[in-house]
Amino acid sequence: MSPFVYVLTTNGLLFLLSIIFWKFPPKKINNWYGYRTHKSMLNQKIWDFANAIFCKNLLVYAGISFIGGLIFANFATIELSWQPMVLVLLSVLVSIIKTERAISDNFTEEGKEK
């Protein structure tokens, strides 16, 4: 498989999904679509806050991941195997960690605003 095709199907797909998630955020708390953790589903205010923060973070880090993957593909002397997937994993992990930290900084454990 071509390195560019591999990056497009991993990092590019994550970037596309982050754009869709950003353009069409979930309106109500549900079990199918959105940033769903115990903290984010406590009430509608936290739900809206968490999804807005997560969408922004994922868009930024998925974009960085996509550009990084394209750079890897451009300079690859061997076939890419795990490098683009590590970028995808890091993008998602950093987005989750930053979102959880923002929720903890702005809301109590009971779901009330600080």
| pLDDT single digits (tens) 95-113 | 999 999 999 999 998 888 8
Residue 104: what are its φ and ψ, rounded to 5°? -65, -35
pLDDT of residue 83: 85
Give the pLDDT score at 10. 93
* Report field, pTM of the whole predicted structure over 0.75: yes
> What CA–CA distance (Å, rounded) separates 71 from 42?
41
| DSSP tag of 109 | T
Alpha-helix runs per DSSP H in the chain: 3-23, 44-75, 83-106
Q: Which of 101, 95, 112, 107 is nearest to 35 (CA)?
A: 95
Residue-wise pLDDT tens digits, 42-91: 999 999 999 999 999 999 999 999 999 999 888 877 777 788 899 999 99
